[in-house]
Every structure is written in C-alpha cells, then in structure tokens.
Amino acid sequence: MRWQGRRGSGNIEDRRGMRIGLPLGGGIGGIVLLLVMSALTGTNPLDLIGTAPESLDQTIGTTGAREDDPQEQFVSVVLADTEETWREIFRERGDAYAPPILVLFTDATESACGMGSAAMGPFYCPADRKVYLDLSFFRELAERFGAPGDFAQAYVIAHEVGHHVQTVTGISEELARMRARASDAESNALSVRQELQADCYAGVWGHYAARRNLLEPGDDEEGLRAAAAIGDDRLQRQTRGRIVPESFTHGTSAQRVEWLRRGLETGSLDSCDTFAGETW
C-alpha cells in the first residue's frame, strides 16, 4: 500500500503500556482476572489493584499517531481512509457518518463489552463504538496465519470498521434481537452472515482506496489470503483437527474470500447483502 505521508486519523486512543485499572467492585471475576494476570505477568497481585491508568489524558482524549511509530501511523492512515470512504458513501445516501474510535492496547484492556484481551484478536464493541486492536495480532497474522503484508492488516482494520457501519446503520441491533430468539445453530448462521458482510464492507473500502491510488499490485491478493487464513474451517482444522460447520461464526475461507472480493470489485454496499439467499 502507498500509505506513507498520508493524513492520519485523529480517532486513535492509545492505551499501550497502560496497566489495567480494575473497576471498583470488580467482584469475583475481577479477583480471578487479577490472579490470572498476576500469574501471567509474574507481578504481585496487590500491585495491580486499583492501579489507575498512567495518565488520565490518555484515557479520555484521543490523539493522532505519533510520528516516530510507523505501525501506529499505518493504522492511523488506514483508519483515516476508512473515514473518508464511509463519509462519502453515507453522504451519497443522505446520511452523516460518525466514525469509530480505534483503541490501541497491549495485552488487555477494558471495553464496554467486557475485558478485551490480545488473545481474542481485534474486535469491535458496539456499546462504546470502539475498535480494539493489539498490534501484536499483525505479527500473528503474518507468522501463525501465513498472511503477511500491509493490505492484510488493513483488511483486518476495515473489517472491524465494517462492524461499526453495521452498528450505526442498525443492522447489528436487529441481528442481536434475532439471535436472542434463535437456536444456537441459527444464531451462529446469522453471525456468519454478519461477519461476511463486514468482510464485504472491508472490500468496499478497498475499492475506494484503490480509486484513491492507495493500493499497489498484489495488495488485493494479500487481503484475500488473509480472509482465507481466518476462515472457520481452516482454523478449526488447525486447532481441533476436524470441522463442525454448525459452530461456524465467521464463515469458511471460501466464503470470506468471496465476500471480500465482491466488495473489492463492486465498491457497492448493495453487493454486500449477505442476508438474502445463500451466502454466495
């Protein structure tokens, strides 16, 4: 990607290097977490109790990227480009786009959806409308999942931003209501459709990014390789040695590749209706 020298987003909240300030009344869960954290980090649990974030400003304010940190700059530029894309698409539809905040963290952090940890991978929390990202995931994506490259990383960010778009358009809320009434298998199937739509939205962003001359030859392939690498079937084969389709929540490698490709090729939201008919 040609991202150097481009404008970054002001919607980055940098919590890296912060210790977790446990909420008051953390209860049993908080204590268990404390002990786990303590075991993991080799620190005295008492050190962690009530530790406030190092700087209050860091928790409250959002900042642009630090100039001496290329990885943060990259994330910031990609986020800014998603903002530009979605602002344009929303405007065409007579709507205003309110972008998400992207929280950078290390190891673990609090979100309105509960404690987020690096082990969960990047995630979006609809309750606080923030994307949570531990940059170590990009190393994992390259080394463990075999999907290196900056566009692979950008796809991950754009997928989470896709969930934000689903939230501000009301799709996520409607799905949550449907899933609450559904059986486990039906609920998983709805989750797959939601995830595939986020992949398609990531592709729509890629389409606009290409128009702005942000992409280089080979970038699409990097993204598609990443989408294939994190398909449920491939992940389950790797971790369990067998696949259980009813338990899929994100879609197969083939489905994820297909929907990302659709978004990339068409650049159209209408091509991302993963809820009509089959998932291809």
> Toward Zn ion, which CB reaches closer, 195 or 233?
195
The answer to whether residue 199 forms part of the interface with Zn ion (CB under 5 A) is no
Per-residue x/- marks for Zn ion, 141-180, CB under 5 A? ----------------------------------------
> Toward Zn ion, which CB reaches closer, 73 or 163?
163
Stretch of residues binding Zn ion (CB under 5 A), selected from 7-15, 52-60, 148-156, 189-197: 189-197
Q: Count interface residues toward Zn ion (CB under 5 A).
A: 2
> Toward Zn ion, which CB reaches closer, 39 or 119?
119
Among candidate residues 177, 230, 175, the one with its CA nearest the CA of residue 202:
230
Considering the complex, what minimum distance in angstroms separates the CB of residue 44 from Zn ion?
Answer: 37
Burial of residue 87 (number of CB atoms within 10 Å: 0-12, 13-18, 19+):
middle
The answer to whether residue 83 forms part of the interface with Zn ion (CB under 5 A) is no
Considering the complex, what minimum distance in angstroms separates the CB of residue 163 from Zn ion?
Answer: 6
Q: Estimate the crossing angle of helix 184-211 against helix 171-181, to 10 degrees.
A: 160
Apex 8 CA angle, 89 and 5, nearest 5: 110
Q: DSSP 3-state assignment of 148?
A: coil
Question: End-to-end distance of the chain based on CA atoms, in angstroms?
Answer: 28
What own/partner pairs with CB < 8 Å and gap ≥ 24 does 36-44 have? 37/108
Q: Mind giving me the DSSP string for 199-258?
A: HHHHHHHHHHHHHTT---TTHHHHHHHHHHHT-HHHHHHHHTSS--GGG-SS--HHHHHH
Stretch of residues binding Zn ion (CB under 5 A), selected from 23-31, 52-60, 188-196, 211-219: 188-196
Task: Report the sign of the C-alpha dihedral through residues 241, 243, 248, 251, in that order.
Answer: positive
> Toward Zn ion, which CB reaches closer, 34 or 134?
134
Considering the complex, what minimum distance in angstroms separates the CB of residue 241 from Zn ion?
Answer: 24
DSSP H or E run through 82 = helix 70-92
For residues 159 and 151, give the distance between their C-alpha atoms in angstroms, rounded to a whole number: 12
Q: Are strands 130-133 and 123-125 parallel, antiparallel or unpaired?
A: antiparallel
> Toward Zn ion, which CB reaches closer, 73 or 253?
253
Q: Tokens standing for 240?
A: 């369990």
Considering the complex, what minimum distance in angstroms separates the CB of residue 259 from Zn ion?
Answer: 12
The answer to whether residue 195 forms part of the interface with Zn ion (CB under 5 A) is yes
> Toward Zn ion, which CB reaches closer, 73 or 167?
167
> Toward Zn ion, which CB reaches closer, 34 or 154?
154
Considering the complex, what minimum distance in angstroms separates the CB of residue 72 from Zn ion?
Answer: 22
Considering the complex, what minimum distance in angstroms separates the CB of residue 34 from Zn ion?
Answer: 29
Per-residue x/- marks for Zn ion, 9-48, CB under 5 A? ----------------------------------------
Summarize as ranges the residues that interact with Zn ion (CB under 5 A): 195, 198
